[in-house]
């Protein structure tokens, strides 16, 4: 689990760096790579894991540091998206 968290920290840092410095030069619209990664991690993770919630907190923190003037805005958005995905999957997909 520690290796996954360290990999997520490094990965989300590079995704945020790409999003804020590299893709901004190609068009006025840049995709939110961190949010896409958080959604994909939550979609493809197993039922018992909570790594999706941890990754949403890490990704939201990096988005707040790089883009937001208020710390916590993107963190809360990504956290609630992760909780919403978990809730929908638990209610409708993972019925045991």
Residue 53 pLDDT greater than 90, yes or no: yes
Q: How many CA atoms lie within 13 Å of 46's alpha carbon, on the beta-carbon side?
A: 2
DSSP class of residue 49 equals: -
Cut 0.75: pTM above it: yes
**What per-residue confidence (pLDDT) applies to 96?**
59
**What per-residue confidence (pLDDT) applies to 61?**
94
Q: What is the pLDDT of residues 34-43, one digit of tens each?
A: 999 999 999 9
Mean pLDDT of the chain: 89
């Amino acid at each position: 689990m520690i290796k996954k968290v360290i990999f997520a920290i490094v990965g989300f840092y590079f995704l945020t760096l790409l999003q804020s410095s590299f893709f901004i030069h190609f068009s006025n619209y840049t995709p939110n790579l961190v949010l896409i990664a958080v959604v994909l991690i939550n979609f493809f993770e197993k039922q018992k894991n909570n790594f999706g919630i941890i990754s949403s907190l890490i990704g939201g923190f990096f988005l707040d540091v790089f883009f937001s003037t208020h710390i916590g805005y993107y963190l809360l958005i990504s956290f609630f998206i992760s909780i919403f995905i978990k809730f929908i999957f638990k209610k409708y997909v993972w019925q045991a």
